[in-house]
Amino acid sequence: MRSRVFSERTCLLNRLNSCGKNAWLWMKLLEKRKCELDFFIKRINEFIKIGAGTVFFETNEAKRYGIIDQKLKKHFVVNSIELGMQYGVIIDEEKLKPAAIFYRDDAGEFIKEAGEYVCMFQTLEDGRMLENLAETAAAFQKFGGSGFIYHEDYANTIPEANGKRVIKLLQKIGA
């Protein structure tokens, strides 16, 4: 009888321990989702305040990113389901062609440098996200932009009513 009670208590303790681990995992996931939503809300408010086609400036801290370094074809897809809410394309300034896909990763090998960045939101049709690069690069150069152009993609998260999608382009000043 005593061993049965002990066995039942052990079983109950194991279940509680398992539930505690699951609760901890859910809490971590919810914390991650909250950070993503905070980021998303910040970007929506920025876009509403600034609008499309206006040059603006921001100071960024250094951030680590994971990189998918591949030969990017003419058509490729990146999305928040696979990469999280902070992702996009790194554009080679000289060729004005995609060089790599980036996504937020605290353990990532690529570091986007801290500093002052020249930026612009644009609204473009899906599938035409890289069309205005030459004009944008020229505008950024007028303000001292140089180096990689970062194409932060909100295409799957901030659709415009007219069927266009919001992107943010930015380039470090004096890189």
pLDDT (tens digit, 0 to 9) for every residue of the chain, 175 residues total? 555 555 666 666 676 667 667 777 777 778 877 877 887 788 888 888 999 899 999 999 998 888 876 555 555 555 555 555 666 777 777 777 777 777 777 888 888 899 999 999 988 776 666 677 888 899 999 999 999 888 887 655 555 657 777 888 999 999 7
Q: Which residue has the tokens 């009513």?
A: 161
Could you tell me the residue ranges of all domains in the chain?
1-49, 51-173
DSSP-derived pairing of the beta strands 110-112 and 63-68? antiparallel
Rounded to two decimals, the pTM is 0.72
The answer as to CATH 3.40.50.2300 being correct for domain 51-173 is no
Distances in Å between the Cα of 39 and the Cα atoms of 33, 84, 107 are 10, 11, 19
Q: Report the alpha-carbon distance of residue 33 to residue 29 in Å, rounded.
A: 6
